[in-house]
Amino acid sequence: DRETLEALKDLPAVTLDGHRVHVVANMAVPEETEALVASGLDGVGLFRSEFLFMDRSNLPDEEEQFTAYQRVVSAFQGKPVIIRTLDVGGDKHLPALALPREDNPFLGFRAIRISLARPELFRTQLRALLRASAYGRLLIMFPMISHLEQLREAKRLLEEVKAELRKSGTPFDEEIAIGMMMEIPGACLQADAFAKEVQFFSIGTNDLVQYTLAVDRMNENIAHLYSYYHPAVLRLISHVINASHRAGIWTGLCGEMASDPLATELLLGMGLNEFSGAAAVMPKVKARIRSTTMDQAKQVARHVLSLSSTEEVYSYLRDKTE
Ligand code: PEP
Ligand code: MG
């Protein structure tokens, strides 16, 4: 009940047998900061920076972005804050960029593809992020990476910006961690290669489901086909987590699935290290984590991964949880 969930606020996300994971928040605008800090979560798993750019006719300059990022990072006082670089295109429009109309926007010019095509825009964001990293623990995450070359190019630009900052004596976190969204099936299948070049992964199931099953995440007519319980999606998730661990890095999940208590034990059993979702629902996820053991969770994961249909997976988890 509500009172028990409220009491959970200051308790760690740890299983009955002592396995610690992180339960963190998704956020969109810096105005949410204070409420999120008060929620007692372990940090921010996804700050969708594109909201700073949307619903306006101009672009935020470096100073405006720096102020926004710095506010969040400072407020979390050393807890991790993952800020994702611009992810527009697809369903998110950005008037100031005058993006071309496309027949297939979700397969088109979006996210990192825009950032790499417009390096001056990307550099401004990277400078603001690096400067904010001096005020706490900021991690940078790149969206929609499908090709290793994209990740390398993004990192190369980041290194260039770091060199500029060093030259001008501007402080930033020299140890800043870099991660990438795992939301394209092709990237997931190549997780072993990507894991050698980043410090963490965050699985974006909202997009991963649509790209794996060819089901538009916005189309109501086919919404019944859209499910993160599809065995193919679960296999990709499991593969990404295993690959990250083989390389000695960690994996989070910041799509809607992370905030679904029905999926918590399954994800835990697959080895997920971090659950990121809307702050209001995350206490339920924490409660689930605190009421199971890793042995139990692994059994659930093993069983679910042996099932072959979405309905079987869903029914099993639902019956188990009721
Ligand atoms: C996702 O794709 O799961 C995700 C977290 O990113 P967004 O919903 O912003 O595309
Ligand atoms: Mg996404």
Return d(Cα 161, Cα 173) in angstroms, integer. Answer: 13
Rounded distance from Cα 144 to ligand 2 centre (Å): 7
Q: Is 48 annotated as a binding residue?
A: yes
206 is in an annotated binding site: yes
> What is residue 2's predicted lDDT score, i.e. its pLDDT?
58
**Residue 242, annotated ligand binder?**
no
Beta bridge partners of 20: 14
As given in the structure block, the two tokens for residue 176 are 């800043």
Known catalytic residue at 188 = no
d(CA 308, CA 231): 6
- Alpha carbon nearest to ligand 1 atom 1, residue: 204
CB 25 within 8 A of CB 277: yes
Question: Of all atoms in ligand 1, which is nearest to the CA of residue 202?
Answer: 5
Which atom of ligand 1 approaches the CA of 255 most closely? 3
Q: Whose alpha carbon is nearest atom 3 of ligand 1?
A: 204
What distance in angstroms lies between residue 308's CA and the mean position of ligand 2's atoms? 26
Q: What ligand has the least distance to the C-alpha of 203? A: 1
pLDDT mean by block of 10 residues, the chain; 322 residues = 75 97 97 95 97 92 98 97 94 84 92 97 98 98 98 98 98 98 98 98 98 95 97 98 98 98 98 97 96 98 98 97 77
Q: In this predicted structure, what is the pLDDT of residue 10?
A: 85
Which helix or strand (DSSP H or E) is residue 32 part of?
none
Q: What is the pLDDT of residue 204?
A: 98
Closest CA to 130 of 90, 198, 97, 176: 176
Tokens representing 22 are 């992180």
Distance in angstroms (rounded) separating the CA atoms of residues 322 and 317: 9
Do the Cβ atoms of 129 and 72 come closer than 8 Å? no
Q: Please state whether beta strands 137-142 and 177-182 pair in parallel, antiparallel, or not at all (unpaired).
A: parallel
The verdict on the CB of residue 207 being under 6 Å from ligand 1 is: yes
In whole angstroms, what separates CA 94 from the centre of its chain?
Answer: 21
Environment class of 58 (CB within 10 Å of its CB; exposed 0-12, middle 13-18, buried 19+): exposed
Which amino acid is residue 78, in one-letter code?
A: G
Judge if the beta carbon of residue 183 lies within 6 A of ligand 1: yes
Q: What is the structure's pLDDT at 90?
A: 80
Q: Are 287 and 5 in contact (CB under 8 A)?
A: yes
Task: Examine the predicted complex and report whether its ipTM is higher than 0.85.
Answer: yes
Beta carbons within 8 Å of 125's beta carbon, 6+ residues apart: 49, 65, 85, 86, 115
- Ligand 1 close to Cβ of residue 255 (< 6 A): yes
Q: What is the pLDDT of residue 1?
A: 56
User: Amino acid identity of 73?
Assistant: V
Q: Which atom of ligand 1 is the closest one to the Cα of 203? A: 3
- Short-list 248, 134, 155, 158, CA closest to 200: 248
Measured from the CB, is residue 260 less than 6 Å from ligand 1?
no
207 assigned to a ligand binding site: yes
Cβ of residue 252 lying under 6 Å from some atom of ligand 1: no
In a 13 Å sphere around the CA of 258, the CA atoms on its Cβ side amount to 29
Q: Answer yes or no: is the C-beta of 256 below 6 A from any ligand 1 atom.
A: no
Nearest to 90 by CA among 199, 218, 178, 188: 218
Q: Which residues contact 150 (CB under 8 A, 6 or more apart)?
A: 112, 113, 116, 142
Distance in Å, CA 164 to ligand 2 centroid: 30
